Amino acid sequence: MVDIDAATGYVVAHGDPVERARLSYLRTGQRPDPQVIDRIVEGQTEAGGWPASTDGAVSSIDATCFRLNELDDLGGLRGEPVDRALAWLAAVQRPDGTWQEAEELAAEAPAWAMPGDPEATLYLTTLAGFWMTLAEYEAHPHFDVPARHGRTLGAAATWVVHQIRPDGTWPSFLAAGWHAAGLLYGQQYFYESARVQLVLGDRLPDMAPADVASMAAALRRVNLGDDWLLQSARKRLGETQRTDGGWDSAEGPIFDVNTTLTVLRACR
């Protein structure tokens, strides 16, 4: 089992103000000081996205989804900044339903966001579609009005469905799997989502803790319920928790707090 108290203590001891505010919201539902939200929003570009670096001027799909993730952990996946981000994502979707980073970002883009790369295209399409799905749900949890970006999400999900192989695997990075499962589930491609989840379950024993945390948090967020995959993921996280209460990040120690917060999001 995950030691929630130890994980909480690790974030308190090592987190920055935004990370500690995320912890408070995840643990108690306490809304953050408006300055915390402002600290995230101040980096938003006029176009509506966020740049890949603090001194960047070009909005990045990957960076924008990262900021939406941060806002979600603070109970802020709604409001004017989020609406602007969603509008920007919809505006830069390609005619075939996919997303790619701008060519100007090629020199600094990591492999999973490289413009023109097929694997990166599938990953970014599942990522953007996943976060747009969650934001739509936050705005209208009872689906009592048409989705603001229903056509955008429909195009993305249709394209992703055609990338899933007959055995449920996908030609992209591991993280594309759980984002695809969430996007497809949200767009009522339940069978296709379930096929992807089966593959994720098979790969779970070999996943790094950060990947397990991200997968569990994403699937927990789309209201799959306490199903077999989430239960297995939580068990794996309990086995990989460090003695100091945290978990290892795939990007180095500087991101260990973020990974620990992701675990808490998966287990809340």
How far apart CA 181 and CA 140 sit, in angstroms, is 21
Q: Is 116 left (phi over 0), alpha (psi -120 to 50) or beta?
A: left
Host H or E run for residue 181: helix 174-186
Instruction: Identify the pLDDT of residue 93.
Output: 98
Which of the residues in the chain have pLDDT under 50?
Answer: none
CB 229 within 8 A of CB 201: yes
Residue range 122-136, pLDDT digits in tens: 999 999 999 999 998
Residue range 192-220, pLDDT digits in tens: 999 999 999 999 999 999 999 999 999 98
How far apart CA 133 and CA 3 sit, in angstroms, is 31
256-267 vs 228-240: helix crossing angle, rounded to 10: 140
Instruction: Identify the pLDDT of residue 77.
Output: 87
pTM for the complete prediction?
0.92
Amino acid identity at 229 = L
Instruction: Identify the pLDDT of residue 144.
Output: 63
